[in-house]
Amino acid sequence: MPRRVPVERWTADGPRADADWLADEAPLEILIEHSFKDQRRTASWGITLRTPGHDDELALGLLFSEGRIGGAADVEPVEVLDAARVRVAFGAHVDLDLGRPRAATAACGFCGSPDLPVTEALEDKGFRMTYEALARLPALLEARQGQFQDTGAVHAAALFDAAGGLVAVREDIGRHNAVDKLIGWALLQRILPLEQTGLLLSGRAGFELVHKAARAGIPFVAAIGAPTTLSVDLARNANVTLAGFLRPTKVNVYAGNWRLRRLSRGPISL
């Protein structure tokens, strides 16, 4: 939750004492309990900085989006106290890479990784939506960004359906954390892959966010901010629709424009 702190506000009239709401930023260690030579051992998978809340979703979503687990069945329910403890289910075959402890910041999901992940192209499962439904999403997301309205310091990510309704919303100081929380939520709901769902981002659409979407089976990514060259290349190769600079009156479509239609007027041309 946001925390209220003292602040001195300056204007041309001079300073005045006040208070301000700040976004909560705190480290979370992810502990992995797994089998090793017929014994159960616990190792640290790393530390991430995040906004506290939905930490079980964050741990699961992070492990899934980085390809370490294949689904919720690979692990037991996550226990969150001082750390997030993830217990690997007996018999599950997972690649946790415990020999390389990692420390993630709130800025980049793949910073510190030796190479970029390979993303397979998604099959077309029929997801389509109208421009009119897409254009309504920024206002819907803004109304659900309570922590951003209080602090101005957190990102938001949302899952939306083809009709333009928001399915779930998460906020976090890290844009990739917000997405991982959504993916973790979907894992717990047993609704992956998200083949009939889009991903809405409050900021830019970087490579790591498009990769996470494709990994979760999400065919449509829309961002209030800009994409990057690498994210556009990935979207085109992965058969993901990528839209940026989304506003109530306009949007740029960089890949997969055939998933976006106008009411009774066919697909939008690039």
Question: Which amino acid, 200?
Answer: L
Q: Cα–Cα–Cα angle for 2, 221, 95, nearest 5°?
A: 80
Question: Which amino acid, 42?
Answer: T
Q: Which of 108, 166, 168, 191 is catalytic?
A: 108
Comparing CA positions, the residue from 175, 233, 236 lying closest to residue 202 is: 175
How does 150-161 read in b/e, with b if 16+ C-beta sit within 10 Å?
Answer: bbebbbbbbbbe
111 catalytic residue (yes or no): no
SS3 label, residue 6? strand
Beta bridge partners of 133: none
The bridge status of strand 155-160 relative to strand 198-201 is antiparallel
SS3 label, residue 146? helix
Comparing CA positions, the residue from 9, 10, 34 lying closest to residue 20 is: 9
Between the alpha carbon of residue 39 and those of residues 35, 141, 199, the distances in Å are 5, 46, 40
Active site residues: 108
